A and B are shown apart, each in its own frame.
Chain A
């Protein structure tokens, strides 16, 4: 186990020992190790790299360190910047997990139920990846969809997120009142400068889904120069539009199984509620 102090040292350590695995919070990695599913030949601990534990501002964007913990992102100062990501971080599990688990870890684990993922997808975040060849930028959705992968000895250093200065909502449905994995989650962010609504649905597919048509349609109905209010019928229609886009009807006479129909109703209710809260 090595404990580099900078991203550069971490990349060098990984290049020197290609079989080593980087570890930050360890909430997913160490569970797999304990289960015997993973036996890393070496570990490169990222916990001492101070440059990825905070955030900085860069032309209308926030450059979030990949080592930000969920607990840190849940705090009010962060919530004032990127409210939906803060809400997702607060919903991400019990305090022990939130204290250790990091933003970068949530992205590389890429679990369908990762709570930050639909928010990053809705924000159209970009990843700043550090590697032996220097820095490169990858849209988060490209990584989640497998269009671009992290190469050998590459690490997510930062996540570039636009600062939209507008309401954002993250909602998730779980099986219990206490912390639990999402059965479905929805992130809705408003982008008043571009007069856009962006929405992503998590947990129902291997990666977050973007209902682009529904976004464009509802954005065209919103009066961006006035109070941005919408009639309840429009909210309901948006919810159903989103749900139908993410869970389409099967072709022909086939019916969706009851559990999937319920999931679709859940997505519709979450999307309706999320947009309603964002606009209220």
Chain B
């Protein structure tokens, strides 16, 4: 690929990107988000701000044990407290007792067994939040404490924790010749910690009973239709009797809202006949929602003397927590991408996801792919060290390109400009050393005025390449439906794709502006009365919902222009709409959209469904993914090698984006992803002791602060359009999360000479090798 099709953003420009000519609206414009002002001013309504006349407050009693038999639950004391309206337990669930996004294996309330710390046991509705909390605490539960299974390696032999058994999924991937060997062999054992999605706003919702016996749930759901179906089944109601209304989403890098919060809420509303509100505390949020899978990985890479990969053998063990959630999908990604964006002739990867009594694991962006990236990139560094090669050079000798075959047997048909990405970050100038700047401007590891000592600080540079899949994998029916309405010179988009911060509602406005030439576009709020658009994961809304909006807009365009075209005897293609004016190619016709509408309303609804995929078979083979996205990152870190404190100085990012649809938004998504990755690399780990979460608060769980976030340089955005994707654009949010931790680990490795095979990197692993 030539450089002409690529956008190089000069480093000096910062997040706003280049100051070059940019359109004011439509695709390619840095259109600001419509709710940006309300969010910065603090007036944007989130679910926790909701209010209804006469509402009750909910509180949930959660298990203090990781594994215990529930012998008895006595709610009489709680129910008798003044102000308490109702108490519900497993016995009060009228419909299905269990639910789950993939397998219905998770009870609404624990009945006979609790399987993780924080599992819901009962819920209370009361007229004051404190009363509700006190009443929940007054519920007497008798437990028989059982030995928790917390080591996933021991889950295989342990007695079953669940009727479905302890093995959630096993994928034995076999590709090529098992007897192939390389001249050079490197091995490693890697451990990845438990990252929490740590959304800015904790879970919250308001459930309002309806006169027809149904219930409306107002919450920040990212997959409203699935949540509605799960909730309705547990309530014993039909899906039409439950409506999920999506409120403002306060941050979502995993699935929100966990049905484990919504279902008890809806039950309380149905039981009391009153609106009920739940606002989870931060502690409940940490205990209740799903985390990134802690993973144990064992690798053996074979290469020839020139550093070309011959064979990769890997064993990957995902700790799924007590319930299946999205573990099966995460495991598929981990196994399929176990070798990374490299050409590997022979690959043998065994992957398992097993049940334990640890906190639940599920979808957090980049799941599966992020854990293996940290491991295969560590292996590549090890191989480079063994062969005496530059780590970037070794990677360049092995990179994947379009037309190569993945270890799953799938041919890479989408653009895969991996070599170009790596060269871009490698050739980008390194940041200046602090010694070249005034001393009072130094920011050493340890922070301003901290303990950092210049003499003990070493700088390291490391590279990583990462990949993720886009859209649901393995035969998931990915479809989205959107409606576009034009009336009075204004367009409205109705689509159940949830704006989670990924920018879908801005993109929808841009698409309509582009297709219909109408500047004023309004995106309707989402509820489950609209047709489903699917979960807001894996960059799917840019693809399927964006594609559906474009089709619907094009249908409206045809409806609008057809009568005019007919009148003037030309095809609609010869007419164009800009700034609300319709003109023909020859300038003969000139009218406005409002005039052409003649007071009519035009509506069109369309669907977008990408080509189907297939599940991985018994040998891990199959065309499981619709598309792939790639990223290269060069990390520069400063390490205080006596204290083991690390500061990431700069992350240079080159990413395969297909097409830039909104430059400002794209830059913020990449910056957010890199920062989340830096957190996973250095500080973010929800620690447990015998299955109990030790510090479920934001003091114990250290997120990156502004001082921890590095300079993020977007060195290059390769715009090689993916022909099967609408607009040719690829998902951009997840792949920087996947790649950053591996890059930081590589840089710490180069600074300290230590192997760094555990994430997050603990200070004792970042002190210089003695």
A32 to chain B, nearest CB (A): 12
Whether A173 and B704, one on each chain, are in contact in the complex, defined by CB atoms closer than 8 angstroms, is no
Q: Please tell me if A255 contacts chain B, counting CB pairs below 8 Å.
A: no
Number of B interface residues in the complex (CB < 8 A): 33
Residues in B whose Cβ lies below 8 Å from that of A273: 451, 453
Q: Please tell me if A151 contacts chain B, counting CB pairs below 8 Å.
A: no
**A180 CA / B708 CA spacing, docked (Å):** 11
Whether A175 and B763, one on each chain, are in contact in the complex, defined by CB atoms closer than 8 angstroms, is yes
- Which residue of A has the minimal Cβ distance to B451? A171
Q: Please tell me if A181 contacts chain B, counting CB pairs below 8 Å.
A: yes
- Which residue of B has the minimal Cβ distance to A266? B643
Q: Please tell me if B446 contacts chain A, counting CB pairs below 8 Å.
A: yes
Known contacts A36-B133, A176-B682; is-contact A269 B764 (Cβ 8 Å): no
Q: Please tell me if A90 contacts chain B, counting CB pairs below 8 Å.
A: yes
Report which residue of A171, A172, A177, A269 has the largest number of chain B beta carbons within 10 angstroms of its beta carbon: A177
Whether B763 and A177, one on each chain, are in contact in the complex, defined by CB atoms closer than 8 angstroms, is no
New A-B contacts (6) at CB < 8 Å, excluding given A173-B645, A177-B450: A171-B451, A172-B450, A174-B447, A176-B707, A178-B705, A273-B451
Q: Please tell me if B62 contacts chain A, counting CB pairs below 8 Å.
A: no
Whether A173 and B446, one on each chain, are in contact in the complex, defined by CB atoms closer than 8 angstroms, is yes
Whether B763 and A171, one on each chain, are in contact in the complex, defined by CB atoms closer than 8 angstroms, is no
Q: Total number of A-B contacts with CB less than 8 angstroms? A: 81
Known contacts A90-B449, A183-B763; is-contact A175 B642 (Cβ 8 Å): no
Q: Please tell me if A270 contacts chain B, counting CB pairs below 8 Å.
A: yes
B759 to chain A, nearest CB (A): 14
Known contacts A171-B451, A259-B764, A262-B763; is-contact A179 B446 (Cβ 8 Å): no
Q: Classify the secondary structure of B's interface with A.
A: loop
Residues in B whose Cβ lies below 8 Å from that of A262: 644, 763-764, 767
**A270 CA / B456 CA spacing, docked (Å):** 12
Q: Please tell me if B647 contacts chain A, counting CB pairs below 8 Å.
A: yes
Known contacts A259-B764, A262-B764, A265-B642; is-contact A176 B705 (Cβ 8 Å): yes
A101 to chain B, nearest CB (A): 13
Query: A237-280: contact bitstring with B at CB < 8 Å (1 yes, 0 no)?
Result: 00000000000000000000011011001100110010000000
**A186 CA / B708 CA spacing, docked (Å):** 23
Interface residues of B in 48-72 (CB under 8 A from A): none
Known contacts A35-B283, A171-B451; is-contact A265 B705 (Cβ 8 Å): no
Q: Please tell me if B689 contacts chain A, counting CB pairs below 8 Å.
A: no
Interface residues of B in 436-454 (CB under 8 A from A): 443, 445-447, 449-451, 453
Whether B705 and A177, one on each chain, are in contact in the complex, defined by CB atoms closer than 8 angstroms, is yes
Query: A148-178: contact bitstring with B at CB < 8 Å (1 yes, 0 no)?
Result: 0000000000000000000000011111111
**A179 CA / B450 CA spacing, docked (Å):** 10
Residues in B whose Cβ lies below 8 Å from that of A174: 446-447, 450, 645
Whether A178 and B450, one on each chain, are in contact in the complex, defined by CB atoms closer than 8 angstroms, is no
Whether A176 and B704, one on each chain, are in contact in the complex, defined by CB atoms closer than 8 angstroms, is yes
Residues in A whose Cβ lies below 8 Å from that of B683: 175-176
B341 to chain A, nearest CB (A): 30
Q: Please tell me if A91 contacts chain B, counting CB pairs below 8 Å.
A: yes
Residues in A whose Cβ lies below 8 Å from that of B456: 269
Can you list 17 A-B pairs with a CB-CB distance of less than 8 A? Answer: A35-B281, A36-B137, A91-B450, A94-B705, A171-B451, A172-B451, A176-B704, A177-B443, A177-B447, A178-B705, A178-B706, A179-B705, A181-B699, A183-B763, A262-B763, A266-B643, A269-B642
Residues in B whose Cβ lies below 8 Å from that of A171: 450-451
Q: Please tell me if A87 contacts chain B, counting CB pairs below 8 Å.
A: yes
Q: Please tell me if B702 contacts chain A, counting CB pairs below 8 Å.
A: yes
A217 to chain B, nearest CB (A): 22
Known contacts A262-B763, A266-B643; is-contact A177 B702 (Cβ 8 Å): no
**A262 CA / B768 CA spacing, docked (Å):** 12
Residues in B whose Cβ lies below 8 Å from that of A177: 443, 445-447, 450, 645, 647, 705, 707-708
Query: B615-647: contact bitstring with A at CB < 8 Å (1 yes, 0 no)?
Result: 000000000000000000000000000111101
Whether B708 and A178, one on each chain, are in contact in the complex, defined by CB atoms closer than 8 angstroms, is yes
- Which residue of A has the minimal Cβ distance to B133? A36
Interface residues of B in 295-339 (CB under 8 A from A): none
Residues in A whose Cβ lies below 8 Å from that of B682: 175-176
**A165 CA / B451 CA spacing, docked (Å):** 23
